[in-house]
Structure 1
Amino acid sequence: MIPAFLYGQGATTSGLNGRVTDGSGQPLPGAAIVAVHVPSGTQYATVADNAGNYRIQNMRVGGPYSIRVTFIGFSTSNYTDIYLRLGESYVQNAELSEATTTLQEVVVTSGLRNSILSSERTGTQTNVSSRDLANLPSINRSITDFSKYTPQSQGNSIAGRDGRFNTITVDGSAFNNNFGLSSNPLPGGSAQPISLDALEEISVNVAPYDVRMSQFTGASINAVTRSGDNTFKASVYTYQRPKSFTGNTVDGNEVANANTRQLQNYGFRVGGPVIKNKLFFFVSGEYEKEIIPGVSWNPSQDGVANSNLKISRTRESDMAMVRNYLMSNYNYDPGKYKNFDPFMNKNTKILVRLDWNINKNHKFTLRYNDVIGTSDSETNATSGPPNNSRGSGRISNQSLAFSNSFYGFRNTVRSVTGELNSTLGPKVSNKFLASYTYIEDKRTSPSKFFPFVDIWQDGDQYMSFGYELFTYNNRVANKTLSLTDNVTINLNKHTVTSGLAYDNLYFYNSYIREGTSYYRYPSVDAFINGEDPTGFGVTYGYKGNDAPGAELTFGMAAVYLQDEWQVTPKLKTTLGFRVELPVYLNKLDNNPAISALTFIDGRRMDVGAWPEVKPLLSPRFGFNYDVMGDRSLQIRGGSGVFTGMLPFVWFTNQPTNSGMIQSPEIGWGPGNPNLAGFQFNPDYKALIAANPGLFPQTPGVLPTGASLAQVGKDFRLPQIWRSNLGVDVELPWNMVLTGEAIFSKDINAITQININEAAPAGKMTGADNRPYWTDSRVNSTIGTAMELSNTSKGYQLSLTAMLTKNFSHGLSGMFAYTYTLAKDVTANPGSAAASAWVGNTAVGSLNDPGLSYSNFATPHKLVGNISYRIEYAKNLATTVSLVYQGYQTGRWSYIYSNDLNGDGNTADLMYIPATADGIQFATYREMTPEAQMNAFWEYVNSNKYLREHKGRYVERYGDLRPWIHRFDLKFLQDIFSNFGTGRRYTLQFSLDILNFGNMLNDSWGTYVYNPLASYDNVRPLAVVTKGTATTAPVYRLNASSLDDFREKTTLSKDISTSSTWGCLLGARLIF
């Protein structure tokens, strides 16, 4: 894996450039250059300009290529065995000798070389070749499996930024999760949207200064598919992961349901000529079925949780009682509550590609891809209607959910791409790309129509059942049309590129929060005895109808100009400018009732209008300097502005919460007068029809507790200013040492603001003098009023040292260390505006959370891989590849388990007292205040981060999780023969081992679990009495006993298949 310079909106091709001179270094204008892609016979030709420079654009990826350079009166030079990487412009200079009596030919075998040392390289990129795709371990067989080899990556996040702000293209067509309902950057849910066998190459670009690349503030990940050539080639394969191919113990503890994990994968690929040297085809197909452990938690017998054994505190007797009550009174079966069934994922993929050499000047490519998949998921962890605080996860050591509250997905991804590459003369080339992608995500439920119910106990989540609260009638469709045209003109030392691009994105979103209604009760007895709920939520269609769904049509137009200038033989610069104009193409209905409201600081909302259209400017500059003149030492870098997209679900929040196509989300919390005498009703439509005063049936009328959302009228798409500086040094044995620094500064980061949050009543007394609220809303009749906004706060810094060894003599590899520091004001941890706001943490108001550590970066990462292939015994070959990753697995925040400051949110960062007596405790169960104080102080002193923050507030994501070290291993064994036919037939067996170290020792390569944590928030204390200006807050331990607290404050191994080893066995016939 080596970096390569990339170009294009989403790189799909390669290129060739260089200089032709005589023996004294003088240019040879008019020299002829012909490059031939040997497998397909595809030819590319040009002539050198007055300075002897030449450039060929838009060439097929891969090889081998042969290059022939001729000039009358001079010897001919031939260069063979050249491979072009995705997006790379390969540099091949030619020095021709003057012929005497006879013309001579010089043949040079080039082969693969380390393209880091190239004048084309300015920014930060990583290239994954077809050899890497075949040889490196990958159990998921996904594009994202290979992005981890980018030193600046951490999971889906790259360069310290949210992975949702990456962009992914395949053959130039968008393969993004544009709507952004999950953190998965790819569409298709659990299914990989394209078979790994269909891919030729992948590139990850962190800082490309070519202005043709845009729509990301994280990284641009590009892949191209395989092509046919003049030889018929095919492969059929299967990958199997039987039950015994997953580790079943962690640190001596048995992993529940480990033996349920299975995978079956069957596929093929075939390619060849339709017309030799003219028209080629490639087809790939794959079917996959995977069974994975579902919910591994089970109820307890005594109400005591055991995280190691996956025992929740929820009593089995309570779940049985609730199930019997629901069956007897409502004829509703909530499903299983123990020994849950495994989840199943299935998908089918097909890809077809045609490549047509129309003539020597025009090449056309057409590709179609289709994926259909289904998958299962457990119920949403913590979200609920507004004004209802979040507790621990619904499936955790604190709580359990019945199986009919789970849900599924049916995902569809269809994509077609057409690309025309034209040479319009010796100096002009053109690339036109058109693509269309259709993505649909539809939810399914095993439950019949029934409300979703949360039951709490002792102030925290305890039990859940019903139709999953975000699944009813939930469907998202995204259609993306992209058009790009680039013209490149070679003008001696200048290569000038101009282009136009337009993307049209259409979204349909049917999203009915709490669509079957939602109830919350403080205890099991409260629900069974018919007491008033403490929370209620619903979103409904008008006049008894289902809501029609919201629509959004968004366009992004761009124009750009760039000059690549070979200033001197040692120095090359790139200067470009890109202008992008976002346009909003669909009209919205305004709601006068919303427009009449006044919010904090006199703000108003207009849900009938999109933001003001403003151009976004992206100037960029890059350079490459060959210090010694022989590519043994180069300095490179650049600086520029990058404009990206965002999860468009945050845009559709505006129409879905406008009260015009469906009711706004209603959320009643504790103390709401509407809950007095409010009885549980399994038919929410009947409930709504019987209470028109509470649930208006006319669009434009706001019900009490409605939540609103809008995109700020001055909102701008995400933008960053990114700079990098790199040094590359050639070492012996075809190795290169690289040092690189990348700095990114937010210009327009994304944030959410609740403009209905009232000003605080004052500050709490004592050392913890944070603001507190007695009334958290400006308008008491509605809930949150979210506004999508921007902030310029935030930055990311990455420092990398990397050693690479290019493939030679069967050996290749790399090793890198990266230090990353990233800070932001929010991770936007939610797919809805309100959940993204509530999911953040702060000392005071969530509207002003302050700059703190980003959840998308930890300081240190080590990554390396080494691969070796050897052929022996005439008919055998063995390949062994080892991959290592070492990193800190994430960050933690420390918050209280319920609302401290009266703002209605469970999002308050803790204050750590300077001394043990600086905090007040209340008696809880059998725990005295003094015993709780001692236990808490013991915990503080045992925790390095908390100990260092005595007398201070903790920081959001301030604490680091422990390191993890993992090795993945892959074996390939080839048995081959030509059987006297002149072509090789290969039977290949493969074994991918994930977390190989854990196979040797079940304590190695394991994750750590914090029993007090709900996702990234650790909750040691619960609030008994909120703080005010005259009274200090009073707390209790977030545990049922002192022993329970001490057990919860001890980090435990994550006893699940996430921590264990796993194997994938493959068999393949290649012919």
Structure 2
Amino acid sequence: MAPTLVAVAATQSWGQGATTSAMGGTITDKAGEGLPGATVIAIHTPTNTQYVAPTNSEGRYNIQNMRVGGPYTIRVTFVGYQETTREGVYLTLGQTLRMDVNLSEATTQLQGVEISGRRDPVINAGRTGAETTVTREQIQRLPTLNRSLNDFTRLNPQANGGGSSSIGGSNNRYNNITIDGAVNNDVFGLAGSGTPGGQSGTTPIALDAIQEIQVVVAPYDVTLGNFTGGGVNAVTRSGTNDFSASVYGFGRNQNSVGKSVTEPRTKAEEFYNYQTGARVGGAIVKDKVFFFLNGEIARQSTPLSFEPGTSTSRIRTSTLDSITNYVRNQYGYEVGEYGAINVRRESNKIFGRLDFNLSQNHQLTVRHNYVEAFDDNNSRTSTSLRFGTNAYKFNNVTNSSVVELNSRLGRYSNKLLLSYNRIRDTRGVQGDIFPAFEITAGANRYTFGTERSSAANELDQDIVEVTDNVTAAFGKHTLTAGTHNEFFKFRNLFLNNGNGFYQFNSLANFYAGRANRIQAAYATADNGEAKFSAAQLGFYVQDQYSPIENLRLTGGLRVDIPVFNDKPAFNQKVVDQAAYARYGGINTQNLPGGQLLFAPRLGFNWDVNNDAKVQVRGGTGIFTGRVPFVWISNSYTNSGIIQGSVDVTNPASVRNGNNQPVVLTDISQFPSYYAAGAARTTQVNVLSDDFKLPQVWRTNLAVDFRLPGDIVATVEGIYTKTLNDIYYKDINLADPIGRLAGPDQRPVYSSSTGGTATLPPRRLDQNFTNVYLLDNTNKGYRYNATAQLQKQFTNGLSTTVAYTYGVSKEINSGSSSTASSNWGFNQIQFDPNNPELGYSRNDQRHRILATGGYTLRYGGDKFATGISAVYEGLSGAPITYLYNRDLNNDGSTGNDLIYIPTDVRDPNQIKLAASEGRDLATVQNQLEAFINNDPYLRSHKGQYAERFGARMPWTHQVDVRLTQDFNFMAGGKKNTIQLTFDIINFGNLLNKDWGHQYSLLNNATELLSVVGTSAPNVQPTFTFPSGFATNNRSYDIAPFNSRWQGQLGVRYIFN
């Protein structure tokens, strides 16, 4: 009788960020009875690291904190029974390999080891929610242009492949990203990528340093926390007893990019983008001490798209020349270049790791990662242009250190993780500090002067993390108890409009010096800096219980406690304002500290027939996330004590001795000079007295089937209900004074901030411009439904196809870093302080994902040719239609959703005016054509537009990687020269009309221009900008990303 070994992959709790794998199972005799006292030895062959575990009274064993990967050799021994050995076992990040062994008595003749069962990332006993693991082989073989984590997190069906790194329809600020188990989020919340240094355009770590990546959406392990979106975890590579190294380079330029997709078709302007690096790993002391090093540099110079004077831009160079000459003559200031502009981006990365086998039961890891990067920030669209002086350079330096100790003592195992991140961000401006000017002329917008958020902008972050998890196996129970704690220290200098900001609503008014709004900020104490420290403490306990062989239950409770050690400055004027009493205890020192945020969770996995062919899994529970600390920092910066501001919304009242409007270029004069037109007021940010961190209740249910041909089919549904999300109000905004006339009956506020003889004031308290209250709402939900097929072939071919339908609705997308923007740009139909539930900017809707790859080895393994591809089909990014000015007089421009008229020629539906040299009939015809060309507008006539209710067209993109390996022997060891060619947007290489991508600034279109001012009982008049009539669409075909792009890679691998 042959001993039988059954191996099935099973997800184990991967802690705050998994860095290891595990094994477990049961050792039985021929009768199926457990064998207590049997010994299981797992040997990690590359390092000769040994993991030993005895079985308990039921014959069960459990080995925690094992190295990821392999190969492993597994040996099972018991007195009086034949030893069983299996080689070539590999372990996956964050998963437990279930290996059950049936031993034969020593007197039985051994016929060979019979292996049944399989390692399977989907049908396994521990999986409950949606997750995706990306192996080292996938990282090496799949196409990647940016060599970033986001290129591989998109392989999760619930992720948004549009580059936003959104998971499950949530804001990417609500994700938790860890590397080697340590927090690697941009916890302050400024970077679009969600990672440190993201604003400089760099990745947090070189891709060659990564071993595996894991994405989880609905894990019910309570050791996982600090996210309400998704969790992304990566583990780094380590050295082995065998010396290995690689040098590599990847690059592309204008010669590896297709022509423009619109007529006239032109070649790409000159640019370059390359990365080059090297890695090396090996043993310092054989079997005991190992090292791994990686260094990489990246250099990029890229031309800006939408160059004025070309077919991609709607902006005339004659207008730009006129602005340039006027500013030079009037203010003695050079606005900077506007033509062909190349922006640079550079980064340097160094990674080092040491691994110590202290003993058979103790392994220590120490690693450090250094990143230095900068990015020249400038951008433009077909209708907006920033002159050269409005650009800035973003600089970042990040140091990240991790120490991890994994220990095993009998049935107990312990993981201790310590980390420290030091992040420094600064901005460098172009030329001398000068006020920012923004001119809106119809659909076009022009900006010059120092970028208004960059004149005083610095951020220091210091983050310390302490995690300790203890796991113990007791029969059918595996118990875990632990704590995860993060300690933060911040210094944030941010004077928005610190250089002054002038807004003009026409070119004529700009040349006449008639601004329609003037804003400025200045420091009144502490240099205007916000300095504070905080912590988020987490404690948890969990039981993983298997009452029967084919059913596993996981239940646990997590408690998170936010702590703030420093309070914002106290502002007595805010506390004394009686008008704010209806919003509760308003105090500038309110903070969400000391709360106990409970998160119970329950998950299950049921192998229906105990044959790994039909699996039902799921769970339900509460997830608590972090709030981006920039939202909290706003209360420190804008307490009304350390910063002051000027906001003049009626600049006509600010005149000089000649009774002419005044435009100042000396920003030091702003506070005193403009006091004549508006009191020296300030913006204040406060938090609700019971503000809570984000929380959601998430439930998922899935069924996995093993179909004929070993195809695994999955049907999965995930529903997320908002418990606590963000909700902004301007509590200094007075009640509306009436409603508009006509079909659009939205409320209208006073057009006078301080009041006149005929109008009440818009501000309740004239000491303040706005008082923004950050509160919670429980309105909102998200759901995703996924159908997926996966197949792994033995000949090197692997495929997956997935379709996901998702909907995400919320009150506020939280897409900005400031309270004024999160409130002011949150599109509304009626009341800005009570916004409607609307679609999220991260609403995904339809997504199709397919991957495939094949490698052919030939010539006696001297050659290998591979091809892999990723297809992604998206139903188009959401967009919003707005009015271009402050229609309802709430003090915010560009946040009012349009009313969609049923008949553009009916003045009772919409009053249009002739404009830009067009008569009324032409304007009406052009607007009608635009509405009828847009599926959303066409089907919602007579209604208010919904926030992000419309969508751009579907996009289809195929990325391909071709790989050619040349293998040869050198020094008695195999060496490889590898050539790769990545083709991004391969369809466009085949046909210029395929693979088009689309872009729209802020995903919003100011479709109708307001003529004059709004008042109660008056039907407003609008114009339709002529620029939108050209193509009857507001979005652009992305001129660069719509082209195919190729990247050549060369790598030499030696041992």
Range into which the TM-score falls when normalised by the shorter chain: over 0.9
Structure 1 residue matching 2:325: 3-state secondary structure: helix
Structure 2 residue matching 1:1015: 3-state secondary structure: helix
Offset at 1:852?
A: 1.7
Counterpart amino acid of 2:68? V
Separation in structure 2 between the aligned mates of residue 329 and residue 954 of structure 1, nearest angstrom: 42
Separation in structure 1 between the aligned mates of residue 1038 and residue 840 of structure 2, nearest angstrom: 27
Separation in structure 1 between the aligned mates of residue 748 and residue 62 of structure 2, nearest angstrom: 66
Deviates more, 1:180-189 or 1:481-490: 180-189
Separation in structure 2 between the aligned mates of residue 635 and residue 68 of structure 1, nearest angstrom: 32
8 Å CA contact 1:5, 1:123 repeated in 2 = no
8 Å CA contact 2:77, 2:83 repeated in 1 = yes
Structure 1: segments with no counterpart, 5+ residues: 301-305, 380-394, 696-701
> Is 1:132 equivalent to 2:104 in the alignment?
no
Separation in structure 2 between the aligned mates of residue 115 and residue 82 of structure 1, nearest angstrom: 14
Separation in structure 1 between the aligned mates of residue 1021 and residue 332 of structure 2, nearest angstrom: 44
8 Å CA contact 2:222, 2:540 repeated in 1 = yes
> Is 1:552 equivalent to 2:532 in the alignment?
yes
Q: 1:515 to 1:1050 in 2, by over 3 A?
A: closer
Residue in structure 2 matched with residue 387 of structure 1 by the alignment: none
> Is 1:505 equivalent to 2:516 in the alignment?
no
Structure 2 residue matching 1:371: 3-state secondary structure: strand
Residue in structure 1 matched with residue 622 of structure 2 by the alignment: 641
Offset at 1:410?
A: 0.8
Counterpart amino acid of 2:238? S
Structure 2 residue matching 1:836: 3-state secondary structure: helix
8 Å CA contact 2:197, 2:204 repeated in 1 = yes
Residue in structure 2 matched with residue 53 of structure 1 by the alignment: 60
Offset at 1:1032?
A: 2.0
Separation in structure 1 between the aligned mates of residue 954 and residue 384 of structure 2, nearest angstrom: 28
Share of identical aligned residues, percent? 36
Residue in structure 2 matched with residue 725 of structure 1 by the alignment: 701
Deviates more, 1:814-823 or 1:599-608: 599-608
8 Å CA contact 2:338, 2:387 repeated in 1 = yes
Offset at 1:528?
A: 5.0
Deviates more, 1:235-244 or 1:770-779: 770-779
**Alignment map for 1:140-179 (pairs within 5 Å):** 140-155=146-161, 156-179=165-188
Residue in structure 2 matched with residue 342 of structure 1 by the alignment: 342
Separation in structure 1 between the aligned mates of residue 264 and residue 537 of structure 2, nearest angstrom: 56
Deviates more, 1:87-96 or 1:850-859: 850-859
987, 993, 997: which one pairs with 1:997?
A: 987
Q: 1:194 to 1:111 in 2, by over 3 A?
A: farther
Separation in structure 1 between the aligned mates of residue 62 and residue 714 of structure 2, nearest angstrom: 27
847, 866, 869: which one pairs with 1:882?
A: 869
Residue in structure 1 matched with residue 975 of structure 2 by the alignment: 985
Q: 1:666 to 1:235 in 2, by over 3 A?
A: same
> Is 1:448 equivalent to 2:432 in the alignment?
yes
Residue in structure 2 matched with residue 368 of structure 1 by the alignment: 368
- CA deviation vs aligned residue, 1:158-179 (integer Å, no higher than 9, x gap): 1111111111100011111111
Counterpart amino acid of 2:930? Y
8 Å CA contact 2:520, 2:670 repeated in 1 = no
> Is 1:901 equivalent to 2:888 in the alignment?
yes
**Alignment map for 1:622-771 (pairs within 5 Å):** 622-663=603-644, 665-670=645-650, 673-674=653-654, 679-688=662-671, 691=673, 704-771=680-747
Offset at 1:253?
A: 3.8
Q: 1:614 to 1:101 in 2, by over 3 A?
A: closer
8 Å CA contact 2:738, 2:1017 repeated in 1 = no
8 Å CA contact 1:250, 1:1053 repeated in 2 = no
Separation in structure 1 between the aligned mates of residue 405 and residue 655 of structure 2, nearest angstrom: 64
**Alignment map for 1:570-589 (pairs within 5 Å):** 570-589=550-569
Counterpart amino acid of 2:354? L
- CA deviation vs aligned residue, 1:1005-1045 (integer Å, no higher than 9, x gap): 11245xxx653223332222556553322222222xxxx55
Q: 1:468 to 1:437 in 2, by over 3 A?
A: same
Offset at 1:972?
A: 1.0
825, 828, 831: which one pairs with 1:839?
A: 825
Offset at 1:913?
A: 2.8
Q: 1:110 to 1:1070 in 2, by over 3 A?
A: farther
Q: 1:166 to 1:758 in 2, by over 3 A?
A: same
Separation in structure 2 between the aligned mates of residue 708 and residue 869 of structure 1, nearest angstrom: 61
Counterpart amino acid of 2:417? L
**Alignment map for 1:953-1032 (pairs within 5 Å):** 953-979=944-970, 981-1008=971-998, 1014-1025=1001-1012, 1028-1032=1015-1019
Separation in structure 2 between the aligned mates of residue 872 and residue 112 of structure 1, nearest angstrom: 28
Separation in structure 2 between the aligned mates of residue 82 and residue 366 of structure 1, nearest angstrom: 26
> Is 1:946 equivalent to 2:937 in the alignment?
yes
Offset at 1:451?
A: 1.5
Counterpart amino acid of 2:234? A
Offset at 1:533?
A: 3.1
Structure 1 residue matching 2:208: 3-state secondary structure: helix
Residue in structure 2 matched with residue 311 of structure 1 by the alignment: 313
> Is 1:872 equivalent to 2:866 in the alignment?
no
8 Å CA contact 1:82, 1:110 repeated in 2 = no
Structure 2 residue matching 1:910: 3-state secondary structure: coil
218, 222, 225: which one pairs with 1:211?
A: 222
Residue in structure 2 matched with residue 783 of structure 1 by the alignment: 769
- CA deviation vs aligned residue, 1:765-812 (integer Å, no higher than 9, x gap): 333222222254322443221111111011111111111123522111
8 Å CA contact 1:720, 1:745 repeated in 2 = yes
Offset at 1:897?
A: 1.8
**Alignment map for 1:510-525 (pairs within 5 Å):** 510-524=493-507
Offset at 1:99?
A: 1.9
Q: 1:96 to 1:270 in 2, by over 3 A?
A: same
8 Å CA contact 2:195, 2:204 repeated in 1 = yes
8 Å CA contact 2:312, 2:1039 repeated in 1 = no
**Alignment map for 1:261-276 (pairs within 5 Å):** 261-276=271-286
Q: 1:672 to 1:595 in 2, by over 3 A?
A: farther
Separation in structure 2 between the aligned mates of residue 176 and residue 17 of structure 1, nearest angstrom: 32
Counterpart amino acid of 1:996? F
Residue in structure 1 matched with residue 27 of structure 2 by the alignment: 20
Offset at 1:450?
A: 1.5
Counterpart amino acid of 1:683? D
Separation in structure 2 between the aligned mates of residue 456 and residue 158 of structure 1, nearest angstrom: 35
Structure 2 residue matching 1:158: 3-state secondary structure: coil
Offset at 1:877?
A: 0.6
Residue in structure 2 matched with residue 407 of structure 1 by the alignment: 392
Q: 1:675 to 1:549 in 2, by over 3 A?
A: farther
Residue in structure 1 matched with residue 5 of structure 2 by the alignment: none
**Alignment map for 1:52-201 (pairs within 5 Å):** 52-100=59-107, 104=110, 106-107=112-113, 113-155=119-161, 156-189=165-198, 190-201=201-212
> Is 1:416 equivalent to 2:401 in the alignment?
yes
Q: 1:107 to 1:355 in 2, by over 3 A?
A: farther
Task: Give the TM-score normalised by the residue count of structure 1.
Answer: 0.92
Offset at 1:216?
A: 0.5
Separation in structure 1 between the aligned mates of residue 479 and residue 516 of structure 2, nearest angstrom: 66
Q: 1:450 to 1:3 in 2, by over 3 A?
A: farther
8 Å CA contact 1:447, 1:466 repeated in 2 = no
Structure 1 residue matching 2:938: 3-state secondary structure: helix
- CA deviation vs aligned residue, 1:547-570 (integer Å, no higher than 9, x gap): 251112111111100000011011
Residue in structure 1 matched with residue 413 of structure 2 by the alignment: 429
8 Å CA contact 2:453, 2:497 repeated in 1 = yes
Q: 1:675 to 1:440 in 2, by over 3 A?
A: farther
Separation in structure 1 between the aligned mates of residue 674 and residue 899 of structure 2, nearest angstrom: 46
8 Å CA contact 1:168, 1:220 repeated in 2 = yes
Residue in structure 2 matched with residue 247 of structure 1 by the alignment: 258
Separation in structure 1 between the aligned mates of residue 38 and residue 319 of structure 2, nearest angstrom: 86
Deviates more, 1:237-246 or 1:915-924: 915-924
- CA deviation vs aligned residue, 1:864-909 (integer Å, no higher than 9, x gap): 1111111101210111101111112211222222222222322111
- CA deviation vs aligned residue, 1:284-321 (integer Å, no higher than 9, x gap): 000110111225331x5xxxxx8xx13333x4344334
Counterpart amino acid of 2:138? D
Structure 2: segments with no counterpart, 5+ residues: 1-8, 752-761
